[in-house]
Amino acid sequence: MILVDSSVLLDILLDDPRFAAPSETALRQARAATGLVICETVMAEIRPVFADDSELEQFCDDISLEYHACPKEAAMLAGALYAQYLSNKGRARRVVPDFLIGAHAMACGYSLLARDRGYYREYFRSIDLIEPKPR
């Protein structure tokens, strides 16, 4: 299974001029290889793009995204790694969702399809990270 980060989905949904095409290609390749998963964090982050919940659910159905809730162990791991990040002089408080997504992938043994902003490679080294590359 591959957990899809909101960065990739938002690239596609918002037609990001630099990343929409590579993110769409990476998503297609991932879907052809195995199942795709999103969690509550990703669902919440992409929800504002849609008019209502049913539109979001239809999008997920259309691209074969399954919803898997984040297990308790992943939330605990995210908190522990986030504490490590803070002790390493990390400042951005908005990265907690990234830590939840990374920990979910790690705890469940999923690969992660995401545009890495440094957190995943540094704090989630054991994850198979699939990263769309801009042209």
Query: pLDDT for 56-95, tens place per residue?
Result: 999 999 999 999 999 999 999 999 999 998 888 767 666 8
Strand-pair partners of 111: 2
- The answer to whether the CB of 72 falls within 8 A of the CB of 100 is no
E strand spans, 15-67: 36-38, 65-67
* 3-class DSSP state of 113: strand
Q: Which fold has domain 2-130?
A: Rossmann fold (3.40.50)
Write down the pTM of the prediction: 0.92
111's CB contacts (< 8 A; 6+ apart) are 1, 2, 3, 30, 34, 105, 127, 128, 129, 130
